[in-house]
Structure 1
Amino acid sequence: MGIGVGVFLAAIGAVLAFAVQDNISDVDLTAVGYILMVAGVVGVLLELMLFAPRRRAGGVVEERRVYDEPRR
């Protein structure tokens, strides 16, 4: 899950938890919203702590020629 998906889940969860006042039988939308918010935050944290360091460049690449042509 990427950062964008995590933010999207957290936003949808916040809308369900705080803005929706509808009642569906046997479904608590507030609880579903909180679950989605937690899943989104956990996804973003995992992405930043575990997966983001692997994507960084390994450092500066230095180019060297093994056989240089002699100067005239």
Structure 2
Amino acid sequence: MGIGGSIFLIAVGAIFTFALDVNVGWLDLDVVGWVLMLAGVIGLVLTMWLWQSRKRTTVARDTRAAVPPTAPLPPAQGRVEEYHEVRRDDRAY
């Protein structure tokens, strides 16, 4: 749902609960407002929890040829590739 959708549900629920005084007959808008606000709060908490549990990892790969440890170091040739991965802590990789 995301943060924006959650805040939207909370705002619409608050409007239904506190700002409107309309009789629809079989539908109680106060209850609808409370349900929307509760759904928005749950969505916000879940979104924040999922964002908190992500772990960003930077992986660098050296694409230069391997040099034996006894040989003198050649001048830096080749390139180093770097990319970002997003990993979750609860999965085994």
TM-score (norm 1): 0.79
Q: Aligned-residue CA RMSD in angstroms? A: 2.0
* Mapping for residues 55-70 of structure 1, pairs under 5 Å: 56-58=55-57, 60-67=58-65, 70=74
Identity percentage of aligned residues: 38
Q: Which runs of 4+ in 1 moved over 4 A?
A: none
Which blocks of at least 5 consecutive residues in structure 2 are unaligned?
Answer: 67-72, 76-93
Q: CA deviation at 1:62?
A: 2.8
Q: Which amino acid aligns with 1:64?
A: D
- Cα separation, 2, equivalents of 1:41 and 1:57: 26
Which blocks of at least 5 consecutive residues in structure 1 are unaligned?
Answer: none
The structure richer in helix per residue is 1
Q: How many pairs are equivalent? A: 68
- Identify which of structures 1 and 2 has the higher relative contact order when contacts are C-alpha pairs closer than 8 Å and 6+ apart: 1
TM-score (norm 2): 0.63
